[in-house]
Amino acid sequence: MLGPMREDTRRWIEADKRHAWHPFTPQGPWTADDHEPLVIVRGEGPWIWDSEGRRYLDGNSSIWTNIHGHAHPAINRAIVEQLGQIAHSSFLGFANPRASELASRLTGLFPPGTLERVFFSDDGSTAIEVAMKMSLQYRMQTGEPERTRFVAFADGYHGDTMGAAALGGVSRFFERFRRFGPDVGFVRSLAGLDQFAASEINAVVIEPLIQGVNEMRPWPAGMLAELRDWCDCHGVLLILDEVMTGFGRTGTMFACQREDVIPDFLCLAKGLGGGYLPIAATLTTAPVYDAFLGDPVNAFYYGHSFTANPLACAAALASLDLFLTERTLEELPAKVEHLAKLLEELASCEGVVDVRQCGLVAGIELRAGLGSPVCLRARDHGLLTRPIRDTVVLMPPLCVEREDLDLAIDALKAALAGV
Ligand code: PLP
């Protein structure tokens, strides 16, 4: 039985339980009579409100997407202005102004002559899917069709479409589908790469600097640059999955900039649209692009109905503008440092096993069994987030203030003391 609540809330929950199916969710417990899911109705800055009027800090940026906070007037305005022109037009056969601007803005974030082309899609999984198919076709069209193997890292996560899922190392999610997918070998570290015949490898795929779904585990410093060298040495393409790390999360605009690495494919999504509308991009180099010219049979026959949707492109452009006008990256180091101090305090609390941080991304590993109860309790103290197994993710919008970080850590301390 649901407890006392507003009539609207009750209606929404009942309809949800009767008809909706949630991602990554065991539906049995979700639809149990006494489960009262929060219904999120509003957001402003780093805060979100549920249908009962309770306010929470958006502790995981609405699944790692939100950058400048919710309902930012500049992003809202950009979307509304575009809405007044046209909500959607096809990118198949037509250009649109916002997509033209966004493609040139994105390539402009990298040194000239490096990542020069942008292929748009809709979410992180499709950004990866594009890199996979594009890289395989590139090999076919450049005389190396035998290079078909991908190498990915154990416990990594790259999305849920069939191709992207094949690169995923989390066996609980992906094992049952593995036999349907492409040829993928897994390694735990760079040393493992030498167990494969390099001449058969098409590309290595990695979440740079930090694995997200693998409970926020950073790689050793220098590893990415070393991987780039290894790929260059063996003619292997490098696909960087910056779906989580892109757009300031780790302290620089992109994680690869921390080690001066330019990949052959860079996959972006989540924060690309500021966390407002779904949009993704796969950036690549001129040599890759050039291999698709010439005979039309060699074109890249791939795309989706909403590719380069003008509303989403408008949101992405407004988000990029805010990085400049609000000095988002310049404001970050003080916040990152403050978070580090708070995490150091938290590390000594009863129940905390380890704390890991990379920029404004933190994983707080708790004793087995504590992840879910602590996150549930933290809601009572104004923090909304989710655990990955027993690691609590703390990854608020970049616009968060230092006192908001204080609130988050205080909420976790209170929750830990209460379980
Ligand atoms: N790659 C990484 C590193 C991710 O963290 C995710 C999602 O969490 C994805 C890809 C898939 O993105 P999406 O859920 O938008 O398909």
Compute the mean pLDDT over every residue in the chain, rounded to the nearest whole number: 97
Q: Which of 22, 63, 64, 157 to mutate to test the pocket of ligand 1 (most atoms within 8 A of CB)?
A: 157
**Annotated binding residue 402:** no
**Annotated binding residue 124:** yes
Residue that has been written with the tokens 């593995």 in this structure: 178
Residue that has been written with the tokens 């006008």 in this structure: 325
Longest dimension (CA), the chain: 67
CA 298 to chain centre: 31
Q: How far is the CA of 6 from the centre of ligand 1 (A)?
A: 34
Ligand 1 atom closest to the CA of 213, numbered from 1: 5
Ligand 1 atom closest to the CA of 212, numbered from 1: 5
Give 93-122 pLDDT, tens digit per residue.
999 999 999 999 999 999 999 999 999 999
Residue that has been written with the tokens 């590719």 in this structure: 307
**Annotated binding residue 304:** yes
Q: Which residues pair with 366 in a beta bridge?
A: 352
Phi, psi of 85 (to 5 degrees): -95, -65
Q: Which of 62, 64, 125 to mutate to test the pocket of ligand 1 (most atoms within 8 A of CB)?
A: 125
Give 306-354 pLDDT, tens digit per residue.
999 999 999 999 999 999 999 999 999 999 999 999 999 999 999 999 9
- Evaluate whether ipTM surpasses 0.90: yes
Say how many C-beta atoms besides its own lie within 10 A of residue 233's C-beta: 9
User: Residue 265 is encoded by which pair of tokens?
Assistant: 């494919």
- What domains, with CATH codes, occur in the chain? 38-68+328-418 (3.90.1150.10), 74-325 (3.40.640.10)
> Are 40 and 54 spatial neighbours (Cβ–Cβ below 8 Å)?
no
Report how far apart the first and last C-alpha atoms of the chain are (Å, whole number).
Answer: 24
Q: How far is the CA of 8 from the centre of ligand 1 (A)?
A: 32
Ligand 1 atom closest to the CA of 160, numbered from 1: 16
> Are 377 and 415 spatial neighbours (Cβ–Cβ below 8 Å)?
yes
Tell me, what DSSP letter sits at residue 32? S
Query: What is the distance between the alpha carbons of residues 3 and 7, in angstroms, rounded to a whole number?
Result: 11
Predicted model pTM: 0.98
User: Residue 7 is encoded by which pair of tokens?
Assistant: 């009539």
Least confident of 173-187, 327-341, 394-408: 173-187
> Which residue lies with its CA nearest to atom 10 of ligand 1?
158
Q: Is the pLDDT score of 75 beyond 90?
A: yes
Query: What is the distance between the alpha carbons of residues 384 and 118, in angstroms, rounded to a whole number?
Result: 34
Give 124-169 pLDDT, tens digit per residue.
999 999 999 999 999 999 999 999 999 999 999 999 999 999 999 9
> Are 300 and 137 spatial neighbours (Cβ–Cβ below 8 Å)?
yes
> Which residue lies with its CA nearest to atom 12 of ligand 1?
124
Query: What is the distance between the alpha carbons of residues 318 and 50, in angstroms, rounded to a whole number?
Result: 27
Ligand 1 atom closest to the CA of 63, numbered from 1: 8
Which of these, 216, 211, 209, 212, lies nearest to 261 by C-alpha position? 209
Q: How far is the CA of 4 from the centre of ligand 1 (A)?
A: 36
Q: Which residues pair with 190 in a beta bridge?
A: none
Query: What is the distance between the alpha carbons of residues 55 and 48, in angstroms, rounded to a whole number?
Result: 6
Distances (CA, A) of 166 to 131, 151, 155, 159, 303: 13, 10, 12, 9, 20
Ligand 1 atom closest to the CA of 123, numbered from 1: 15
Q: How far is the CA of 55 from the centre of ligand 1 (A)?
A: 27
> Are 187 and 193 spatial neighbours (Cβ–Cβ below 8 Å)?
yes
**Annotated binding residue 125:** yes
Q: How far is the CA of 279 from the centre of ligand 1 (A)?
A: 12
Q: Which amino acid is at 277?
A: L
Query: What is the distance between the alpha carbons of residues 397 and 326, in angstroms, rounded to a whole number?
Result: 13
Question: Phi-psi bin for 199: left (phi > 0), alpha (psi -120 to 50), beta?
Answer: alpha
pLDDT band at 1 (very low <50, low <70, confident <90, very high): confident
Give the angle 367-373-374 at the CA atoms, nearest 5°: 70
Give 203-233 pLDDT, tens digit per residue.
999 999 999 999 999 999 999 999 999 999 9
Give 309-319 pLDDT, tens digit per residue.
999 999 999 99
Query: What is the distance between the alpha carbons of residues 300 and 91, in angstroms, rounded to a whole number?
Result: 14
Pocket around ligand 1 at a 6 A CB cut-off: 123-125, 128, 157-159, 207, 212-213, 241, 243-244, 269-270
**Annotated binding residue 270:** yes
> Which residue lies with its CA nearest to atom 5 of ligand 1?
244
Q: How far is the CA of 2 from the centre of ligand 1 (A)?
A: 33
Q: How far is the CA of 350 from the centre of ligand 1 (A)?
A: 32
Q: Which residues pair with 40 in a beta bridge?
A: 50
pLDDT band at 172 (very low <50, low <70, confident <90, very high): confident
Residue that has been written with the tokens 């489960």 in this structure: 35
> Are 184 and 152 spatial neighbours (Cβ–Cβ below 8 Å)?
yes
Give 248-276 pLDDT, tens digit per residue.
999 999 999 999 999 999 999 999 999 99
